[in-house]
Chain A
């Protein structure tokens, strides 16, 4: 009988084809076994044993101990052959005492690891052996051992290298390793991602148990990367990670908002202040001219959509735009991911980090990892917070006196003596002594903010769990009862077989959201309504339409807009499971299975009461309904291998991906309901039409591999390759290969540097180069499709089918070649760390609409075009611990990104349809505008330069010669953290330098009926000879079209830079004795605030949204309590 401790010898012998029936039985057995394993593990083994027996074999003693305590014995039977029987009488003794007793004199020893006891042959005393040729050599021994973490749990996959040799091993699932023929005075170097590196001198020992401490610098903290983990120390690429402790300090409804100002190279812009708003996100600039520029998002290994399906939220939520890409939809899917469930968000930028995602990661990747359970007693964590939100800025508009002055002056300019009958604001119909601050009235309310989070987690060494739940409610700043409510459940379960080889990880989040908002943002009314406009309500509580003598309403009551409602009910499930099995130490096969479904049902209603009373008879009430659902599943089998090779360690990963995503959407419009109360019932509509119907399938298939070699923790090389296929491309080009190479040199580990630059604690030079692709062109663009065509009455009752476009079976990926160089330095034991990164990404093979003569049937075809776009830039990060005394600590961090975008090449641009949009050598974000020549001092009208520079009042589109580049010059964040006793104060300033469209010239023609204006219009032309920037006030629209021209000129694009106190948090940790008294472990009371202050010269309501038609981001202040017990 041959028994082997390691599984190595077993594997080859039992591979035989299995009948299917047997397989089924085995599957069942496997499930049962798992249950048994879990059961066994739940028993404590630190028990005492009793035994009584005379002349019994050793095996009987072992069996009895196994029975009583649940430990397992492993040994080679050959060892026991020569042993004598034992006689023993013990009561409630520890295992050690019993074993000491029975093994003494048997030539055997033992050691314990976890719940396993190994019986070994006793080694002789160490010493120097003499070789046969008479020389001396260090005696060689076989070393066995175990590597444990700080919680004394085994570390699977830790690497052990015998110093100055090429020997080494990788631990198995139980943390065990064995190295043969090690010099007796050898030193083991042990390392594991996320833990401190440790050196253990053997000093003759044959068994060692090593405990690794958690990494104590951010350099060694675990960073999640594609299909694995690394640390900042050994990473060869540009990765920034934001952790839960940072995310949870920010009262945001979308986790991506927590990244603002914190990640170099990541541009984020919130496009509205309502909950669930759209976000614009770009990593290292805009690569694609017309296709999508969204990063590739992965939540727990499952790709997540970057855009919602077409929906009704457009005018209230704002769009999730990325550059000029065509794939922008309202809202953002990450509004349905709960920030409290997130453990970390990693932003992958460089080629080396992203190439393994192949055709989808040209725009970078954002990996979200959710919280996992940890072994230990059940732990309950609560985080309860409540707060308030308000708009962070208002637009400075004219006060009543200034407004009336503007209106009268406008009439005077137009030579109108009596105000027209419809100019209610100045003809005496409205009370022109009464003034209302409409921004305060309409968008100045206080939103309530509540976020309640609770979780329970714990487990044993074999099984860990976490269950978390969140309730989130955020009302709006609009008058009326609008609120976004979310409920979320998150769970994680990890379990493994007793031998820790087979592991299962299961996790999921389910979030239900009900967002009730007005369907149209009333911010424009808040900014533009005349200050003397009537009261909102009549004395009887009904809306005041202020009808004139003939019964015509004298204004559109802004609150009427709020009688319309937009309700979105969304559900999001993100789930995945990972099964893994360790074949031999270091060699693991695993497969992940993911599924997510995001569904949303919306109703947007327009009741009759929205319209002025006198017009209702000719109106119909309407409602729109959507039912959208997008789901995807993914299976990714992988194999990974890790071993010691030479003086370094090698890690190899290979795997495959099969993914399918489907999207279904239905948008129905109903009209003519008998009553407004029935608007939510589509059956009550007298007419229903299908506005749109979406159905699409996306499939993706890939094979990938990565090889990493780390030599002596100094030289690291990383090779990545992926071959992938996407259903979005034509039959001729479905598959494509992508590859990257990355390297790093940790020069601070060189002896020369160590000896001469003592202050330098860490120094690394890294670089990577590779290719990635972009397949964000929408589904089916290569197919020759026919769509339904029904102008109203089907011809002969047949709904026609018509070709939708020309197909291009040669359509293929846009390809981005990424190059980066980085230098990471840390000084004085990591007190100061500096990181610099230069990137240069070149995107080519751009997919563009290529002009065709219409004789081909269509005016364009989507084609890959040899245009090249370059994004380059510098990313700098500096972190320092300024003061670290026991009572007081102060640390700072700053990051800054200086991006540049440039169109390098565009063959035959002048003759293409992009001739007026792009310029070679300039950014692809440029916009061409009229050149403003100021106000003509003679007549007070705006003048523009035409194509030749000659002044004109009416420039044509060919006169748009001024080039505006709205790309930010630089952006970043500055964070400071102060600690004083139990108090921690953190604040983050976000800053951005750029130009943008502002409201300096007014939103409508200044002086025109009923519209208030920004203060800046007071710089108007008054009388001939005035040199001003604003044209003369005008009441009758005679020069009203000039407002469109001036806002379409270079003068309207002004400095839109800002510095914003993005986040501030003050935390007070309760004194330990108080906590102990109350039975709490970690309790603190906090104040968090978001968007507290903004410093800008921007003329407009908000420099981030750059819009006066969208609600600005809210300033949110919350108080709360966080505790663990």
Chain B
């Protein structure tokens, strides 16, 4: 009995020790531990956790030197350091958000990342297309297109654009919005380029869209600000010290990106899967890239290339119908045949365009929200009988005053019962006629005569007679500029950019600014100011003169 008891005692000790050692060994071997988790992120594979073997060896050692406490202590300290397992503390991203590595490793999330740029353009977060911070609105106010409601406070951004009195704190909307978009795009270009797991067709289309979007952003940056920092990567350490690049360099980048985009983009409109075509014109195609390329060549005075790109659109080589819509009331409808690219409305409770929502005045006239209307000078520039003056302009009479407002987009009803019938137009065919006309007037193709015939296509559609003015280059160019004013008014700031590149901005803006808006026009104001915060944070940035 006693012998048994002692065996009992002894074997029990043995068991407990072995059990304890194995338990600890198990706990300490954190590779096994980590394997329970399926990490969905690309954790750093270089830092592989200490192996089981190391831990078990250490524990075996521990058993051997158990009577020599000093060695044991050393072993334990070693163990403590082995125990610090780097892999363990690298957590996968939360399921409520996704790590960048994962976004571009599968099709749906990669599509979602690029699609978000369109969504932001449409919602007005990216202040180009829509809303009360849009280019159509602010650049229309800054130029001679829109008049601001007198009730708008003097500190409002709209007032500052309208009075051409921007400051380095309050006239910085486009800069502050376009560069974050460029970060997203650069991040996408890096992510998609480095990804091997995307479906090839999707990868190609997304990369094309990303190049196209970057070109679009820089197109507006270089036009609005002149020389701008050229950010083409995501490393903040590099980007935060960039200086402004000369405009020529930026234009070169835009053209390069567009050529890349044109090569990569699909020839037809695609649906959300990016694998099937769609009747909705909601994603850029290679023709959209051509449209911006045509505009870019025009702006950089590369007349023959401008004409060539416009040709490809006007000749309707695309697998979808691209033609001028004869009824002016139907030009801005969703999936209009004239559309080269449109944006779907996305704002909650506003099923149609934000342009309609903000430009269409209520019967009570302008107010704090609907606070702009067409300027007298724009209204006066329509020729008699211009159908666009009838179909694209409407009015509200309040307090004995008639307020005319842009009526290209006609549906401003809110609520879920309203159907979406209009999309925001980004590129449309009629601009391409005017681009080609201008390129021809400058010597491309058949010169002045074809310029006039292209001009007449637009005039005829508006119910006007053929151009009857002088056929010298200056007259024709002036006629084209005028036609652009009445065709493309309150669309994407065309007027503001046209005034600048045609060199007429000072002569046009000085009287408007000095007499109507109550300012004192300065030629410096054709470029918007760079935000003070950026000037403070980046020692290599310099302000535009005059601010």
Contacts and interface: CB of A to CB of B under 8 A. Distances in A.
A794 interface: yes
Given A3-B6, A27-B19, A703-B80, A802 B116 contact: yes
A779 B93 CA distance: 9
Interface stretch (B229-237, B260-268, B307-315, B442-450): B229-237
A66 B5 contact: yes
Interface stretch (A622-630, A855-863, A1020-1028): A855-863
A851 B76 contact: no
Contact of B16 (A30, A587, A693, A793): A30
Contacts of A785: 93-94, 97-100
Contacts of A12: 63-64, 66-67
Give the dominant DSSP class at B's interface. helix
A791 B17 contact: no
B28 interface: yes
Interface stretch (A251-259, A653-661, A872-880): A653-661
A643 to B, nearest CB: 7
A751 B537 CA distance: 66
Contacts of B122: 791, 795
A786 interface: yes
B541 A853 contact: yes
Contacts of A702: 83-84
A167 B184 CA distance: 72
Given A637-B27, A643-B69, A854 B86 contact: no
A463 to B, nearest CB: 17
A654 B75 CA distance: 10
Contacts of B240: 852-853, 855-856
A23 interface: yes
B351 interface: yes
A802 B120 contact: yes
B157 interface: no
Nearest to B69: A641
Contacts of A851: 533, 536-537
B103 interface: yes
Interface in B312-331: none
B12 A497 contact: yes
B64 A581 contact: no
A652 interface: yes
Nearest to B271: A796
A652 B534 CA distance: 55
B74 to A, nearest CB: 10
A63 B28 CA distance: 43
Given A591-B23, A643-B69, A853-B240, A731 B97 contact: no
B231 A856 contact: yes
Interface stretch (A271-279, A722-730, A817-825, A1100-1108): A722-730
Given A30-B16, A780-B93, A804-B97, A725 B84 contact: yes
Given A798-B115, A857-B183, A581 B537 contact: no
Nearest to B175: A854
Contacts of A725: 84-86, 88-89
B363 interface: no
Interface stretch (B105-113, B163-171, B503-511): B105-113
A789 B536 contact: no
A988 to B, nearest CB: 43
B83 to A, nearest CB: 4
Contact of B85 (A655, A701, A780, A861): A701
Interface string B47-70: 100000000000010011011010
Given A502-B16, A654-B76, A853-B537, A734 B86 contact: yes
B154 interface: no
A793 B346 contact: yes
Interface in B187-215: 187
Contacts of A641: 69, 72-73
B119 A789 contact: yes
Interface in A787-822: 787-804, 806-807
Interface string A544-584: 00000000000000000000000000000000000101011
Contacts of B18: 14-15, 18, 23, 26
A861 to B, nearest CB: 6
B60 A15 contact: yes
B44 A731 contact: yes
A802 B91 CA distance: 21
B27 A697 contact: no
Interface in B78-137: 79-86, 88-101, 103, 108-109, 111-113, 115-120, 122-123, 125
A804 B98 CA distance: 10
A911 interface: yes
A702 B536 CA distance: 41
Contacts of A786: 97-100, 103, 109, 113
B345 interface: yes
Given A63-B1, A697-B92, A855-B239, A800 B116 contact: yes
Contacts of B92: 697
Interface string A683-698: 0000000000111111
Contacts of B6: 3
A699 B346 CA distance: 39
A696 B2 contact: no
Nearest to A808: B236
B83 A802 contact: no
B89 A699 contact: yes
Nearest to A29: B15
B518 interface: no
A787 B100 CA distance: 10
A11 interface: yes
A172 B100 CA distance: 56
A804 B536 CA distance: 23
A741 B28 CA distance: 27
B349 interface: yes
Contact of A798 (B1, B47, B111, B183): B111
A904 interface: no
B134 to A, nearest CB: 14
B282 interface: yes
B242 interface: yes
B118 A795 contact: yes
Interface string B171-186: 0000110011011101
A786 B120 CA distance: 15
Contacts of A927: none
A506 interface: no
A1020 to B, nearest CB: 32
B351 A803 contact: no
B547 interface: no
A73 B2 contact: yes
B210 to A, nearest CB: 13
B511 to A, nearest CB: 35
Contact of A724 (B10, B20, B84, B283): B84
A852 B80 contact: no
A635 interface: yes
The 5 tightest CB contacts between A and B, nearest first, are A857-B183, A792-B348, A800-B116, A703-B80, A791-B123
17 contacts: A12-B63, A499-B9, A583-B66, A591-B23, A695-B95, A695-B96, A701-B30, A701-B88, A703-B80, A786-B97, A791-B346, A792-B350, A793-B348, A854-B531, A854-B533, A855-B242, A857-B236
Interface of A: 1, 3, 7-8, 10-12, 14-15, 18, 23, 26-27, 29-30, 33, 59, 62-63, 66-67, 72-73, 497, 499, 501-502, 579, 581, 583-584, 587, 589, 591, 635, 637, 639, 641, 643, 652, 654-656, 658, 693-705, 723-727, 731, 734-735, 779-780, 783-804, 806-807, 851-859, 861, 911
